[in-house]
Chain A
């Protein structure tokens, strides 16, 4: 298991211009790169023998609306190397309305997580073969995990009538 600082040094040596910030927190490296260089960095992470991040564990996003930060979202990729037994948290920044390149052609396990990030946050991934809603029904107007959407939703106190969404749920 290589130390986190060595991993960060290897990535900084090859892609110094793409990195916005890189640090080590509780033993795991956390690296933030620019959106345009994301695919380049990912291809390097797979090919380099000392890194060899061949398993993409998860894709998610964090919303910074209460802090009034632009760009608003942080897209997070969690990578694991099976042969070398270490992890990496890779991040990139994207604003509302902008698109992120999809990593589906590198790791097929990004299929459902990217669809869920689109469903919950509204971030679109360019190059994903089938980007539509996953957990909510087609035709749902909101993106639930954004910070301006209340936990109880907008119709919590009214009686629920399933006829309103019956047609939407039957399609897929």
Chain B
């Protein structure tokens, strides 16, 4: 039943195309599993029975970056792991968003040492920073809702339409991405 029962027959809804596409994208954000350390356990707890993330639209956590929209970097990023993060980020297709979950991913956290990258935003662009060590599952749901807000308001012009090789070069140069070949 639901809302369709109460609408009169022959209803017409007028809205802009951007709002419609934004509504579709924000209610089905599928995360990519990128759990590195302790925050990954709280991410798992968010996705399971007690705090259910599926009711927000993130039905499954896809292991493959080709099939996901959102990358939750949960845990400390070390220098040895940084090429892998960059590669996985480049493999996610547009539109894509990044949450830096926890203190270690936002700014290095407790670990100011020779082997830790002080914040994941030195390597990839971040949309939402979530503090905590580890943040509670309710915190991760709040960050997800902020991403949904941002995804609903996006305009088509914000993500460029790549047509020629010159456009690819310009896109990569702006975001500091290097591709082989």
Contact = CB atoms under 8 A, between A and B. Distances in A.
Interface stretch (A19-27, A58-66, A97-105, A144-152): A144-152
Contacts of A151: 112-114
Interface string A103-147: 000000000000000000000000000000000110000001000
B120 to A, nearest CB: 10
Contact of A159 (B84, B112, B113, B122): B122
B77 to A, nearest CB: 9
B178 interface: yes
Q: How large is the interface on B (under 10, 10 to 19, 20 to 34, 35 or more residues)?
A: 10 to 19
Contact of A165 (B79, B114, B122): B79
A162 B114 contact: no
Interface string B95-127: 000000000000000001111011000110000
Given A151-B112, A153-B113, A137 B80 contact: yes
Contacts of B2: none
A165 B83 contact: yes
Given A144-B114, A151-B113, A151-B114, A160 B80 contact: no
Interface residues of A, number: 18
Interface string B68-108: 00000000000110111110000000000000000000000
Interface string A151-166: 1111010011011011
Given A137-B80, A169-B80, A169-B83, A163 B178 contact: yes
B79 to A, nearest CB: 7
Interface in B11-29: none
Contact of B113 (A137, A152, A163, A165): A152
Interface of B: 79-80, 82-86, 112-115, 117-118, 122-123, 178
Top 7 A-B residue pairs of the complex, sorted by shortest distance between their CB atoms: A153-B114, A162-B82, A166-B83, A162-B83, A160-B122, A160-B117, A137-B80
